[in-house]
Amino acid sequence: MILKDVKHVFWDLDHTLWDFDLNSSDTLHELFIRYNLENELKTQVGEFIAAYKRINDVCWDKYRNGLMTKDELRLARFSLTFSHFGVKEYDRAEEFGWRYMDECPKKSKLIPGTFEVLNYLKGKYKQHIITNGFKEVQGVKQDAAGLKSYFDVVVCSEEVGEKKPHPSVFNYALEKAGANASESVMIGDNLEVDALGAQKAGLRGIWFNPEQRLVQHSVIEITELVELLQIL
């Protein structure tokens, strides 16, 4: 199946192109050793990372739903992780959080197929990014991973004042890219936020579902990025 009349391809960044999990784990692993957390928290690195990820997901849900501010999210996820291991007042928690935010975006691991697909699409379509990630780190990530030259327009939801899946984020990106919804697709790893959100704004949504979760939905689904070579 080839999608017809497409001119613009909008991408999500985190977990879709930029391998958030690997880059985050690598950073946490390095910091775990540097801060000697095995002794501080009496735990192993794998348990520390697993607990952090669980807590970070909860914090991000709260942030997306307006229950936590960006600054609260940034530090709470670490102080909550330290408390999880029984260390309520770790005096370096804040410093740890800042180091993580400084270093993680400089990591460059990408989801398999990223360059193959971006290069294939490059001549055929205009490509853009719509991300809910923080504005000040998105450029760092793209630079570190060598992605910058592929995208015309990069929209961080922060600049719109709403987050995906709010239609105003997609509408703003369409306008900035000079694109019509009907000639645009949006590819992302979050069914609700990316694919269904885009669909509600009139774009065609493509859900990147590498974990092959079984969910009923009405968008196009891929489990590997290279499947896009058959669709676009």
Beta-sheet strands, E only, within the chain: 8-11, 126-131, 154-156, 184-188, 204-208, 220-222
Q: Bridge-partner residues for 187, per DSSP?
A: 11, 206
CB of 15 or CB of 62, closer to Mg ion? 15
Alpha-carbon gap, residue 133 to 23, rounded angstroms: 15
CB of 15 or CB of 135, closer to Mg ion? 15
**Cβ 215 to Mg ion shortest distance, Å:** 16
**Cβ 195 to Mg ion shortest distance, Å:** 11
Alpha-carbon gap, residue 207 to 58, rounded angstroms: 22
CB of 8 or CB of 64, closer to Mg ion? 64
Closest C-alpha to 51, from 19, 88, 82: 82
Q: Which residue is nearest to Mg ion (CB)?
A: 15
**Cβ 188 to Mg ion shortest distance, Å:** 5
Q: Which residues are catalytic?
A: 12
Which residues of this protein are in contact with Mg ion, per CB under 5 A?
Answer: 12, 14-15, 189
